[in-house]
Amino acid sequence: MASGKPSHIDCSALLVSTFKKAQKRWRIAYLTIRSVRAMLSLSPAVPNNRRKENESTINNPDIDQTKLTEMVKQKDLVSLNHLGGVEGVATALGTKSKTGITGHDQEVSWRREMYGSNTYHKPPPKGFMFFVVDAFKDTTILILLVCAALALGFGIKQHSIKEGWYEGGSIFVAVFLVIAVSALSNYRQETQFHKLSKISNNIKVDVLRNERRLQISIFDIVVGDIVFLKIGDQIPADGLFLDGHSLEVDESSMTGESDHVAVNTKENPFLFSGSKIADGYARMLVTSVGMNTAWGEMMSSINGDSDERTPLQARLDKLTSSIGKVGLSVAFIVLSVMLIRYFTGNTKDENGMKEYIGSKTNTDDVLNSVVRIVAAAVTIVVVAIPEGLPLAVTLTLAYSMKRMMADQAMVRKLSACETMGSATVICTDKTGTLTLNQMKVTKFWLGQELIEEDSDEVIAPSILELLHQGVSLNTTGSVYKSASGSALEFSGSPTEKAILSWAVSELGMDMEKLKQNCTILHVETFNSEKKRSGVSIRKMADNTVHVHWKGAAEMILAMCSGYYESSGTVKPMDEDERSQNREDNPRPGAKKAVEICKAAGVSVKMITGDNIFTAKAIATECGILELNDHVDNEEVVEGVVFRNYTDEQRMEKVDKIRVMARSSPFDKLLMVQCLRQRGHVVAVTGDGTNDAPALKEADIGLSMGIQGTEVAKESSDIVILDDNFTSVATVLRWGRCVYNNIQKFIQFQLTVNVAALVINFIAAVSAGEVPLTAVQLLWVNLIMDTLGALALATERPTDELMEMSPVGRTEPLITNIMWRNLLAQAFYQIAILLTLQFAGESIFNVSAGVNDTLIFNTFVLCQVFNEFNARNMQKQNVFKGIHRNHFVSGYHRNHYCSSGGDGGVPKEVCKYREAELVAVGDLHCDCRCFMATRLVCETHTSFRQTTLQLPQKPKRNISKSSAFYVL
């Protein structure tokens, strides 16, 4: 400079130079200390510090965990640089970036003991006494308790304690039993939710241990682990960005900011537990787990509340409230009429004398009579309010959730059980749901040439090298080969695993060698919008740069102007040569499941990101499209076409669309919104991050439990544990069963209430007394609300349910058929019981007390038969399938059915259990049903019926000679 003064740039350079020198000195001192420690640890003079060959070498960590935790939480880049950056932290934690931790049990246990486990201290589930206290808050219960106290007090005063406690004490016992049953049911529901939350939070993650990529539970992650992250993953712990490309993180769960945060080595290497990967991929070094993370601090203060009211429960609450108002109105009328009759001298005592004679009547007698009248009015209220409805819903949902879990469906939200039964449309993803998502390269085309055998010999070396580069470097997958030389292990997405396996076995690719000979310059990660991923590399040998792309066929072909032949010749490409292809096969049973849904009146629509040709082929094979040459243009559309429709066009065409190809997340969301506006109850299945908006918008979101991302699972109501569309049809079946069982109990319960209400009202107004007392009706309700609800709530799904039309949004809870059954049964009971009330003494020549007992017993028997009538609301044969429900029939042995035969014999249906029969072995009968200890063989008409004796302890295998099979 002319002035001789240093410029701003000169000062910056000086500072950087000074900082680098200080950093180098610090590193030299650090390495010296580490070396001394290592030598001391190997010294024979200290035998206690000798280490086993496979034992961790970090029992004296060189980093303070508290400071490290705070550094990550506060994104303190300066402190991180002082520690030597991410590599310095990894070294201090005893982690090698290329191999990870050793992964031995002793080391993992030590790390968990030293740094903590990756679990959160959540408040424990509510105890039984909490629900007992909560039950006492019910208004009806309080009224009954007051009534019981009055009855007990006046009863003892009037009849002495020896006989006067009967009525009041009985009411107390009945109320306490109702409270106990209700509290126990709610407590079990709370426990069930607690167990389900543990299962839903048990996420699987990929980690690097001892050079091997392993999949472990999120709870098994320890400080020092290297975790692989990709789009859609939820970050399992706090950590530092080790390496990766184009990583963007959604930290809205932590910060509330919706903008994605770029994460890289230099400016922002900090990653927080609970955040989600929005784009890119990376490897993360775990620095804090469990309660030491920022997410852990938040989770510990959250108390999960499972007291949500489902839509059906809300409707039941409204129904109960309406009936309660009717009951209060009737009770007030009864109270007024009976008080007027008493104080006007129109009532008589047991001796036929007037009960009230003005001032001549004893005050105690007046009080006793008023209490009796009030008790009768309260009885009317008790009769009118169907307290058992919420309990029945709870029992039904709890039972159904448990059974659905066995059928590979984990319910995350209680409302989904019943809402699924109302579904009219299912919008399903293709990959992994309708298809297997298990890829294998079956055909390899190079240009226009099909390469079938000896690929590495037919293809020119220069082309083979390009293929090796494109497969090994443009991927997030990996190849692991153990030192023992066992079979190779491939990791990554199903597509990447298939391509890597093919390239290694068929093309002779050496992935590690390629990585050493090439430098990656830039990576474009795959997402649903770009539908392609790319990588630019520099070859170290000649310093040339190559760019490789892979992705959807039409996206890649659109970028190409020519293609290679196997000889290495380049030929130009025209539009006619831009062919389309497909790679995924339908799941076995997917077509059958689609047929079941369509037969049930539920429309199935496939929404996929694949090209339109693949979408048509898969939809046809699965039965979504008809198997013919002509497909209506309105049935299959692309996402861009659908989104460019006007609002009126979309609403007009949305019902006709069966397949939407090349759809974006916005297109899926738009489809769901349009269907809901049309009045449909929409279920959506999906597994990717791009499915999350549609899963949230839908009435029922169903995510895939194996291939599904954590973002998709969190956005869903039900998790399909086996990723199979057949399980979606099973969930639909269970949803209808839940709704139908609740309707059965409503019909049963309201019949009891209507009959008792009318009988007591007529008797009270006409005769001044009620034939059914509060104690009697409380005990009837107690039995009916528990055992009755249990019997009807545990009815299993039947084939008839899938033959009915879907309920939808507008169908009333109490249908016309239910009203018909309810009123007919109630009228029958009222006629019988009123006949006994007014003429029973003369008909049977019995006293008034005996006649009251006769009325009560007849009332109870009516409800027993009424429960059988409620099992089927439409068909006359109400006993069909009763032996399958042991809560009704008492017969509770399990019947296991399977199918064998000689291959040409059609499958039969076991008469002891309606179930699809599975072909097992080559036995000589179609169906074998286990009943008690005997094997009943219901054979085809061409075989004779045989009965075989089972062994005492059945074996778990298939034996051709013994001709039996045990599940």
What is the set of active-site residues? Answer: 429
Contacts for 669 with CB less than 8 Å, ≥ 6 apart: 693, 694, 697
Nearest-angstrom CA–CA distance, 11 and 531 = 47
Nearest-angstrom CA–CA distance, 101 and 57 = 11
- Which of these, 279, 207, 319, lies nearest to 750 by C-alpha position? 319
Asked if residue 884 lies in contact with residue 876, where contact means CB atoms within 8 angstroms, the answer is no
Token duo for residue 58: 């970090």
How buried is 846 (Cβ within 10 angstroms: 0-12 exposed, 13-18 middle, 19+ buried)? middle
Sort residue 25 into left (φ over 0), alpha (ψ -120 to 50) or beta: alpha
Asked if residue 748 lies in contact with residue 815, where contact means CB atoms within 8 angstroms, the answer is no
Q: How many CA atoms lie within 13 A of 521 on its CB side?
A: 11
If you ran DSSP here, which 8-state letter would residue 960 be given?
A: T
Could you please report the per-residue DSSP string of 251-320? Answer: -HHHH---S-EE--SSS--EE-TT-EEEEEEEEEEEEE-GGGSHHHHHHHT------PPPHHHHHHHHHH
Q: How many CA atoms lie within 13 A of 423 on its CB side?
A: 39
Nearest-angstrom CA–CA distance, 680 and 675 = 6
Contacts for 742 with CB less than 8 Å, ≥ 6 apart: 312, 316, 392, 393, 396, 418, 793
Token duo for residue 15: 């500072």
- Alpha helices, DSSP H only, in 452-517? 455-458, 461-473, 494-507, 511-517
Nearest-angstrom CA–CA distance, 433 and 687 = 8
CB atoms within 10 A of CB 882: 16
CB atoms within 10 A of CB 586: 20
Nearest-angstrom CA–CA distance, 685 and 430 = 9
How many residues comprise the chain? 967
Token duo for residue 740: 């139908």
**Residue 213, beta-bridge partner list:** 208
Run of H or E residues at 538: strand 532-539
Nearest-angstrom CA–CA distance, 893 and 20 = 78
If you ran DSSP here, which 8-state letter would residue 650 be given?
A: H
Asked if residue 396 lies in contact with residue 793, where contact means CB atoms within 8 angstroms, the answer is yes
Tokens 């220069």 label which residue? 462
Rg, the chain, Cα only: 37
- Which of these, 606, 279, 659, lies nearest to 432 by C-alpha position? 606
Beta strand pairing call for 718-720 and 700-704: parallel
**Residue 219, beta-bridge partner list:** none
Q: Which strands form 934-938's sheet, in the order they lie side by side?
A: 897-898, 927-931, 934-938, 946-949
Nearest-angstrom CA–CA distance, 207 and 216 = 7
